[in-house]
Each structure stands twice: as structure tokens, then as C-alpha cells.
Structure 1
Amino acid sequence: MKKKQTLIKNAHIVNEGTIFNGDILIEGEYIKEISDSISAKSSDVHVIDAEGKYLLPGAIDDQVHFREPGLTHKANIETESKAAIAGGITSFVEMPNTNPQTTTVEKLEEKFAIAAETSSANYSFMFGGTNDNLDEILKVDPKSVAGLKLFLGSSTGNMLVDNPEVLEKIFKSTNMVISVHCEDEATIKKNFQEHFDKYGDDIPVSCHPIIRSEDACYISSSKAIELAKKTGARLHVFHLSTGKETKLFSNKIPLKDKKITAEVCVHHLWFSDEDYEKKGTLIKWNPAVKTKEDRDQLWEALLDDRIDVIATDHAPHTIDEKKNVYTSAPSGGPLVQHALPAMLEMYHRGKISIEKVVEKMCHNPSILFEIEKRGYVKEGYFADLVLVDLNNPWTVNKDNILYKCGWSPFEGTTFKSRITHTFLNGSLVYQNAKFSKEKAAKRLTFNR
């Protein structure tokens, strides 16, 4: 059977630190050819003129919470993966703190089965560590999952790993990438009690970064890094939120050789504590959005390669849940549809180059997690591609938000850049705000 072909012509192709004008021929699931000029060999070839548009690899989001199973009143894999595709994110790694939690191989495989049926984007999952599931961790095939997730603070259920002996055993026992949420629970509890004694349940949300403080983050991050150095574990620290933490990371060697890496999330690059007055609990995240100075230092570390990856920590809740008083309002918010447009907005503001956005959102997650044949515009790679019009403004509003929860912290924001086409494994799955019915998503595989 003849494989279908798509020819993208006249694109500004962004890949590996360069932008060049050219054409791309997709055959079946893969990029067959990249050249200055390619001619359609037959009338069967679907030709797309990308004149004036930028072609990027599909973004890879290494940290999302799609809430399935068990929390599907907030979100599910089907709704949130569609939002991701509309936002130019073609692959995601989902977290284990669902209900039930993904802390056994059986529960992990159940999640893969759900994604195989319903996901619009390529998918993998983190396996969750607890104080008492080392035996299950050792059963996990490192080639079949993205990695291991440990909550060293701010966990749900029983996922807080706070036994130092267990933690050291886990670090010594696995060669999977260990991704960690770092906030020191004792520090947070002390700070919270002080504020609760003063305000009761209705603590001003502006106190959130004081409760979940710089010290809470730094104490936990520095301990995790110390343990990784002691044990030789491969450590990835999720969602840095403080300038102080950035000093714990290095840019002295290439990412592929690093044993200790770091990520920053879109909200920590976009918002600061000055935004709590207007946005309230809508920007209540763990770790907290902190000061403008912290944000500036995160940007500095991102651009000088101490921070390796930009992710979302997409974690939706219903608007009713978020409208509760401080102690009852959950932390987290939806981001996958708006992360890439937000970072391209930062390009327009002169904060970051498009090449750097692609490095941090496409290339580096692929390198860090050793994802097979994704994250680049390369011949022989899967055709996960995104076409972007950098000068086609649109405003985020209720009518165009695709998250199941129906709201966004970016509501009312106008982005200059618009994702016009998303290709997944060679299929055009999204074009000008419309989704195709084609099922193209695949389970991610890893070169380990």
C-alpha cells in the first residue's frame, strides 16, 4: 500500500539553533526529506504552502496532570490532549498522582490503555514512588516509561517520600530519570501555621509565596541534589521557582552528559507575586509564583543553560474549586493550550529567541528523557510538526479555551502568535482551529 505524502513548502524551519527557508516531505509517519526546494512527484501529494510561517518540532511537555483516572470532573486524557495539540504540544508525560495513584505496574498499564483509546497526542507516564513501593519500582521497565516521579513535598495521598533511608534506596536502585517536586514540608507547615493563626482559613493568596517560601524550595532541592551526587542517581528537578535554586545547577557540560538537570514552568516565567492582586487563586501553584527578582533569575538561568527544559505542570481544577478561600482552593492551573503561544510572546518581547524556545520545549525534553525520534525536524524522525503564524493575534477567552475546566490564567491575554497546523506522526490532526478525526497518537518509546 502506497504511503500518504504531505509536502510543506516555503516554511521558516527552526531546528538545532538555526532558522532556514525550505520544504519538508512527509511520507507515512516520518519526515522523508528536508531541502531548499522539493517538487510534488504526483497529484496524490497533499501540498501545504507555509509561506511566512515558522515550522517547529512538536513541543514535548514533560510534566502534566490530566486527572485520569479518578479526578475526571476536572479533566481527562481526551480533553487535555486535544488542548495540547491545539497548543503545539505533540507529546506529553503525565504524572502519577491520580486516583488510584500510578504506584504499581498494573495501574501504570491501565493508564496506558486509557491513553491508547483516547489520547490525541503522543503519551507516556511517570511511575510514582512512595515510602513503601520499592519492589514495584524495580519491576518497571525503563524502556517503557518516561521515568520515576517522587514528591519530596506537597504530595497527594501517600505519595510524600519523607523517609530518608527509603529515599536513598530508591536513588541507588534505579537508573531511570528521577523527577522530583522539591518543597520542604516542615518549613511549609511552620509558615502555614503562623498565617493560619493570624488569618484563619481566609489567608490572603499573596501570602502563598511566603508560606511556600524560597527556603522551603531551596532546602528540599539542595538535599535532593546532595543525595543524587552521593548515589550517582540521574536527577531532574521539576518547576524551579526561586532564583536561589538556580545556583545549584550547572551549564558546564552538554545536557546529554548531565546527571542533574532542571526545569522551569511557563507560569514561573510569566507571572510574579505582583499578579496575585488581580489573578488571586487562579495563579495559586505549588511551588508558588514568587517575586519579580526570582522570575528574572529564572530567565537568566534558562538562557544560560543552567535550566534545561520549559514545561507546563498543567494541573486543572474546576473554577468553583479555585474560587474557594485560600485553605480550600487547590493549587494548579491549566496551561498546555497556551504554553507555546506564551513563550512565543516572550520572543516578541525580546526575552528569548525562537531557536531557544525550540531548544527548551522540543530538543531538550527529547535528550533528557532519551525519547526516540522526536523533538527535532530531522529526516527519519517522526513528523511531529507545528506551523506557527507569528503575526496573527488572538485573545484567550471562554469561547476558544479547550480545557475541560473551561478557564485559563491567560484569559484576556492577547497573543501575537497562532498555531495554525499540528502534525502528529505524519497526520495533519489540527488545522485553523479544527481537529481531524484521524487517530494518530502513539506511545512514546525511549532509547535506553
Structure 2
Amino acid sequence: MNTTTLIKNAKIVNEGKILEGDILIENNIIKEIDTSISVKSADINVIDVEGNYVLPGLIDDQVHFREPGLTHKATIETESKAALAGGVTSFIEMPNTNPQTTTVEKLEEKFAIAAESSHANYSFMFGGTNDNLEQILKVDTKSVAGLKLFLGSSTGNMLVDDPQVLEKIFASTDMVISVHCEDEQTIRENLAECKAKYGDEIPMKYHPIIRSEEACYLSSSKAIELAKKTGARLHVFHLSTGKETNLFTNKIPLKDKKITSEVCIHHLWFSDEDYETKGSRIKWNPAVKTAKDRDQLWKALLDDRIDVIATDHAPHTLEEKNNPYTSAPSGGPLVQHSLVALLECYHKGKISLEKIVEKACHNPAILFDVEKRGYIREGYYADLVIADLNAPWTVNKENILYKCKWSPFEGNTFKSRITHTFVNGQLAYNNFKVLNVRAGKRLTFSR
């Protein structure tokens, strides 16, 4: 579909600056950015944003959209629509589906599903296991975002716990290796202790004690040690403790870092004080920890020891979440509300708009070598988000787009609203409505 759109009177947040101006989109590309653009054509679609902010579309480097095999929780179609409503125009999805994405054949089947159903741009992580090194070596590194390893068990049980296998994987691939770091032995011991006391009805407040700071730090530090030994390119997902932030550096530019890290919205927003009211709705792996941990994560994010903000969007049904502790799954839906939550943090003076864009748009593009996305630049794909920072709305069942139909933010009033989302130059979301266009494309990588 060929379209020409002119966005007028925008505050453009990009590359550390906020500039007032216009953006001209032709077909799926940003054609021109200037202080004032005038085009004489009857066919042009003009959107006057009246001083609202235009951001690059967010690139969420860690989501679980549950397809194939777990589609009672979510699908690529439903969750990509929710992503657009949240300003996320590109996502990287995880391999712990059913079947798991641990063979090239299963990877291509997933790409085929997304090509038919995704409303946002997409790529996938290939999953590593204790016995699929041969498959890992077959993967075309230019066709996927990277490799995902679970060094602590989570949904789907893809635990890689053989040290020799782990070292072989680290030494054998050029792909970015993204890791879930929690020490399994520590968790098992802590869980056994709580089960001896409470049985299956362990109070939810013990989740960060079972999946403890020690469990996270032990695993993260070992992964980093192995990456340094083998020269592997390592990305540590979802930091949850202040202690772990000291394992990372801000002394070199992101493009030159071999070891990088990410923090998720829930670890920046909630603390262990919220288990009392939120219960299993904020049960994630790794666990939401203390307010002190949250403060230290913010500090590391702002001083650039943490490189990326993501969601780890991982929906389950409420029926599943309402089970006792030992059978209530970890994870929750977040892609629709990540940007508005970050904008709320901007309103509270915690982070600048420029820093939000750096961590949620620019840096994932740099880290995964994503081609022509993550920035507002001439010649780049027109993945754009328009946000009104003074249009309060409240999260409720009626406006939640996730298939699971719940959110840990339910009842929360956000000051900011996503008014428009463009994917590859096409208006795909407009004021609480996902439009009947499917403009998502497979992400490509400049490697």
C-alpha cells in the first residue's frame, strides 16, 4: 500500500535531542525531516500533532507471545496488536513455546506464523538446550535476533545446566547470547525450605526470597565470567538486583561492549511491598525485589551500566495465576503499558524523554544490529509513535488488548496516551483502536 503522510508540528525526540518540526513519510520510509515541510498534493495525508511528541517505535527485545502451542494465553496476532497500542513497533520473541524453537525447522515455522498474523515488526530468538549445539550452528545469524539460554528454569523448562555444553555454546557462536540468569540449586534449596513450612500455599511475599538476590548474582556473575573467558557476546536479560548492576560497565560506548544488560518495566515500577496487594499478578522470574534494588536499578539505567529497557511480556490466564504459589506461573502482560509507564516516570522526574528513547529504541537497534529502525532518520523505516503527555486515562478491562484480558496496571491512571502508532509508514493504531492494516515486517540485521 503506497501512502504519503506528513506529520506537522511535532516535538521529535531522537538521538539525545528534542526538535520541533515536521516528518514526511513516503511509502514505508521517512523521506524528510525539517523544521517546516510543505507538500502540494491532493493525495497526502496530513496529521497535525499540535506540539505532541513523536518518538521512534519501541523495539522490545524480550517478549513471550505464546505461539505456537500456548495460544490459550496469547497469540502473535493478539499481542502484536497490544504492542502497537503501547508504541512497540518491533518485538523479539522468545523460544519457550510448544514446541520449543530449538531447531531451524521450528524457527521457520514461527516466522511463517508471524508473516501471516503479526501487526508489528518481528524476529525471534533461537533457543539453546543441553543437546542442540548442532542446530545452533546451523542458524543463519543474519536471519534471527540472537540466541536465548535459560540458566535458571522458567516457563517451558529450557534449562541449560551442563557446564561443558554451556562453554561449548559460548565458544561456538557469533550470535548475541541473551541469558536468563538464576542459580537453580539456590532456588531449589530456598523453595524446599518454604515448602517444608507452608506446603503449596507459600505466601507470595516469599517469591523474592526463594528466587533470591544470591540466586541471581551467582548465575549472572558465572555467565559474565564465561563470556570473558570465551569472548562471547553476552546480553543479560531482566536484571532484578542492585548487586548485579556492579557487574557491568559504563566506560565504553554500547557499540563496543561485549557484555550488556537489560532491565524490565516491572523491576523499575514494583517492589516487594506490592506482593500484599498484587499477589501472583507481579510474580515474575526473576522476582520483583526490594525498593532498594529498584532504586539501584534506576541508578544503573541512568548511568548507562544498564543498556536496554524491555518488558519480558509473558501472559498467563487469570485462572492460571490464581493458583497456589507452587503452581501459579510466573510472568505477566506488559507491552501495551510499558511506554506509558515510562512516561509516567518522566512526569515524576525519574527519567528524561531522551533517555527513554535511548534505552527503549536506539539501544536495542544497536545491540542487535537491527537495520534501519530505532531512530527517526531520513531513509529509515517509518516506525513512529505519537504521544500526548497530557491526556489521562485509566487501565481497565475494556481497554486492555491482551488475550488474557488483565494487567498488573489495572486501575492505574496514566497521564500520557499513545495517540498514533505507525508501522513501516502505515498508520496502524489510532486512539485506542488498532486499525485494519497489518504492516509488520520481518526484522533484518546488518551483520
Same fold (TM over 0.5): yes
Counterparts of 2:426 and 2:201, CA distance in 1: 49
Number of residues paired by the alignment? 447
- Provide the residue aligned with 1:167 in structure 2: 166
Which ranges of 4 or more aligned residues in structure 1 deviate by more than 3 Å?
A: 155-158
Change (3 A) 1:48 1:242: same
Contact 2:155 2:330 in 1 (8 A): no
Q: 1:3 Cα shift? A: 4.3
Cα distance per residue 1:27-73 (max 9 Å; x no partner): 01100000000002211110000112100000000000000000000
Instruction: Determine if the alignment matches structure 1 residue 115 to structure 2 residue 93.
Output: no
| Identical residues among aligned pairs (%) | 79
Amino acid at match of 2:221: S
> Which amino acid in structure 2 is aligned with residue 27 of structure 1?
E
Cα offset for 1:4? 2.1
RMSD of equivalent CA atoms: 0.8
Distance of 1:291 and 1:436 partners within structure 2: 40
2:369 is aligned with 1:375: no
* CA-CA distance at 1:435 after TM superposition: 2.1
Aligned to 1:258: 257
Tell me if the contact between 1:30 and 1:381 (Cα under 8 Å) persists in the aligned partners: yes
Structure 2 matches for 1:353-364, cutoff 5 A?
A: 353-364=352-363
CA–CA separation in structure 2 for the residues paired with 1:270 and 1:158: 27
Distance 1:157 1:111 in 2: 16
C-alpha distance in 2 between matches for 1:128 and 1:399:
35
Superposition deviation, residue 157 in structure 1: 4.5
Task: Report if aligned partners of 1:130, 1:158 keep a CA contact under 8 Å in 2.
Answer: no
* Contact map agreement 2:315 2:332 (CA 8 A) in 1: yes
**C-alpha separation in 1, matches of 2:409 and 2:418:** 16
- Structure-to-structure mapping, 1:397-408, within 5 angstroms: 397-408=396-407
Matched residue, 1:210: 209
Give the aligned partner of residue 16 of structure 1: 15
Render the CA deviation track for 1:278-302: whole Å, top value 9, x for unaligned: 0001000000000000000000000
* 2-structure distance, mates of 1:384, 1:276: 36
Q: 1:338 to 1:157 in 2, by over 3 A?
A: closer
**Matched residues in 2 for 1:436 and 1:41: separation?**
27
CA distance in 1, matches of 2:385, 2:427: 10
Q: Tell whether 2:131 aligns with 1:148.
A: no
CA displacement, residues 345-389 of structure 1 (integer Å, 9 cap, x when unaligned)? 000000000000000000000000000000000000000000000
**What SS does the aligned partner of 1:447 have?**
coil
> How far did 1:434 drift?
1.8
Aligned to 2:415: 416
Secondary structure, aligned partner of 2:387:
strand
Q: How far is the alpha carbon of 1:154 from its aligned partner?
A: 1.7
Unaligned runs of 5+ in 2: none
Secondary structure (helix, strand or coil) at the match of 1:37 reads: coil
Q: Secondary structure at the match of 1:355?
A: helix
Q: Are residues 1:131 and 2:137 paired?
A: no
- Letter of the 2:253 partner, please give it: P
Partner of 1:440: 439
1:338 aligned partner:
337
Deviations 1:68-105 (A, max 9, x none): 00000000100000000010000000000000000000
Deviations 1:7-38 (A, max 9, x none): 00000000000001000000011000000000
Quote how far apart the aligned CAs of 1:423 are. 0.3
2:83 and 2:336 in contact (8 A); partners too: yes
Q: Residue type of the partner of 1:326?
A: Y
The TM-score with structure 2 as length reference comes to 0.99
Q: Tell me the CA shift for residue 158 of structure 1.
A: 5.2
Distance 1:336 1:276 in 2: 21
Residue identity matched to 2:290: T
Structure-2 residue corresponding to 1:197 = 196
Q: Secondary structure at the match of 1:91?
A: strand
One-letter identity of the residue aligned with 2:104: V
Question: Could you say what secondary structure the match of 1:313 adopts?
Answer: coil
TM-score by length of 1: 0.99
Partner of 2:176: 177
Contact 1:127 1:145 in 2 (8 A): yes
In the TM superposition, 1:194-343 aligns within 5 A as: 194-343=193-342
AA aligned opposite 1:184? D
Q: Which segment drifts farther, 375-384 or 43-52?
A: 43-52
Cα distance in 2 between the residues matched to 1:146 and 1:342: 26
Q: Which runs of 5+ in 1 are unaligned?
A: none
